[in-house]
Amino acid sequence: MSWPKVKLSSIAQVVTGSTPSKEDDSYFGGDIPFVTPGELDNGFVLNAKQTLTQKGANVSRLLPKNSVMVCCIGSLGKVGISGVPVVTNQQINSLILDENKADPMYVYFFCQTLKQTLVDMAPKTTVSIVNKSRFSDLEIPLPPLETQKQIAAVLEKADQLRKDCQQMEQELNKLAQAVFIDMFGDPATNPMGWPIKEIGDTFELLTDYHANGSYEVLQRNVELLNESNFALMVRTTDLEKNNFVDNVKYISEHAYNFLEKTKVYGGELLVNKIGSAGKIYLMPKLDRPVSLAMNQFMIRFKKNEAISVFIYHLLSTEFGAEEIKKRVNGAVTKTIRKDALREIALPIPPVDNQLKFCQFIDVLNVLKNNQRTISHEINEQFDALLKNAFNGELNLKAA
DNA sequence: CGCTTTTGTACGCGTTGCTC
DNA sequence: GAGCAACGCGTACAAAAGCG
């Protein structure tokens, strides 16, 4: 069965957001959420980083509860629904629905299918924009109101399942920390009396892009910088996204072999030098040669002293994170120095004890991977469900 | 006045240059 | 030469200016 298609403008008032002048303080700081694209894609919007006063809302456009908000400038297709009256900035077009014609949740889920459409229709300019008139002309399949509600109810259930799955992933991460404290005690008080050692005494190598004058040598050997895709040059963004496939940089085989000290093989502890200084990562094992870009310190531990997985979790405790944070300098450009890193002193148990914890983490990682696979599948099924729902192919009786 | 386009701002990151 | 602070470019996003 397929439903008649109608323009969004025929079931809702379309409103482009606006920002009150930042010159006037009396517009800001009230209790009305001021929504920007960063706050979308998280279901109901109940609050926001910025807020407006009633006076601020009066000079912009206040949206009632249950308005569907769609980002049409920049991050096209991000969607939210207002849980309370809100105001948005001008990147967001919102639908104030005629609830006699359309169910807000139904429209909210429909708008989640629009991303690719919006991307395709936007002109290929630096900042992608779908303007209000073109947005208003988009068509939505519109079954009877009762059917819309049934479809929305099915999607809501599926959406909840998806959220529960993400929640589970977070719980597994918390579990790692809980087990750490259980096995070794809180490092802040060191109740089990492990020997206090400086990080600097536990590793055999601490290096970065500048080490060994590698950069200068690269400059003198321009041919080393050619684009042949031999080895990955891993940068902070790749680690942050945990994605080593899309938008990555490569160096030649010659350059890779030349930069002996920045080779990584997986398992090294990495520490961010500039920017989010002090942020730590564990280098994953990848199936191709990898060289480290300039923004990370790389630590490889002495085999009889420490295991990187253990130290990673030790530095992830509240106490460990605080020890790093203390050593970050710079008002504008945050940096952490090698020496400061070396002198961090922490309770470090014998390697055998560390190993037991690492074995637990191995098991946990298997669980996490399973969880991720399930989560991925559920997301795909949810997307398929969305698609079917708006093609009129959703079997409501079975659901 | 509402909508669209241009300008402003913050931040990450490769690179530069100073100091010891 | 090694280590580190910071410059400046590119990008992404946010806000104001301009236009109908």
User: Which pLDDT tens digit goes with each residue over A256-267?
Assistant: 776 666 778 888
Is A16 (CB) below 7 Å from strand B? yes
Q: Nucleotide C15: nearest residue by CA–C1'?
A: A19
Is A275 (CB) below 7 Å from strand C? no
Is A25 (CB) below 7 Å from strand C? no
- Residue A20, CA: closest nucleotide via C1'? C15
Among A89-103, A270-284, A320-334, the range scoring the smallest mean pLDDT is A320-334
Residue tagged 């980083």 (tokens): A49
Q: Kindly tell me if the per-residue pLDDT of A94 is higher than 70.
A: yes
Q: Kindly tell me if the per-residue pLDDT of A185 is higher than 90.
A: yes
Q: How far is the CA of A73 from the C1' of C12 (A)?
A: 11
Residue A217 per-residue DSSP state: H
Q: Which residue has the higher pLDDT, A22 or A188?
A: A188
| HEC-encoded secondary structure of A165-209 | HHHHHHHHHHHHHHHHHHHHCCCCCCCCCCCEEEHHHCEEEEECC
Is A276 (CB) below 7 Å from strand B? yes
Strand C positions with any atom < 7 Å from protein CB? 1-8, 12-17
Q: Kindly tell me if the per-residue pLDDT of A334 is higher than 80.
A: no
Is A210 (CB) below 7 Å from strand C? yes
Give the whole-number percent of chain A exceeding pLDDT 70. 84
Report, as an integer, the average pLDDT of A147-152.
92
pTM here is 0.74
Q: Which residue has the higher pLDDT, A15 or A394?
A: A15
β A263-264/A290-292 pair status: antiparallel
Q: How far is the CA of A212 from the C1' of C1 (A)?
A: 8
Report, as an integer, the average pLDDT of A208-233.
52
Is A89 (CB) below 7 Å from strand C? yes
Per-chain mean pLDDT for chain A: 81
pLDDT at A212: 39
- All domains of chain A in start order, with CATH: 5-142 (3.90.220.20), 144-194+349-398 (1.10.287), 197-345 (3.90.220.20)
Strand B positions with any atom < 7 Å from protein CB? 2-7, 11-17
- What whole-number distance in Å separates Cα of residue A324 and Cα of residue A332? 18
Q: Which residue has the higher pLDDT, A254 or A50?
A: A50
- Residue A294, CA: closest nucleotide via C1'? B14
Q: Kindly tell me if the per-residue pLDDT of A13 is higher than 50.
A: yes
pLDDT at A60: 81
Q: Nucleotide C13: nearest residue by CA–C1'?
A: A74
Is A219 (CB) below 7 Å from strand C? no
Residue tagged 């950069």 (tokens): A215
Confirm if A389 and A159 have CB atoms less than 8 A apart.
no
- What whole-number distance in Å separates Cα of residue A141 and Cα of residue A8? 10
CA distance readout (Å), A396 to A1, A109, A373, A388, A392:
12, 16, 27, 11, 10
Q: Number of C-alpha atoms within 13 angstroms, CB side, residue A98?
A: 11
How confident is the model over A115-144, as pLDDT tens digits? 888 877 776 666 677 888 888 888 899 999
- Residue A339, CA: closest nucleotide via C1'? C3
Residue A254: phi, psi to the nearest 5?
-60, -50
Q: How far is the CA of A333 from the C1' of C8 (A)?
A: 13
Q: Kindly tell me if the per-residue pLDDT of A312 is higher than 70.
A: yes
Tell me which H or E stretch contains A14.
strand A12-16
Residue A379 per-residue DSSP state: H
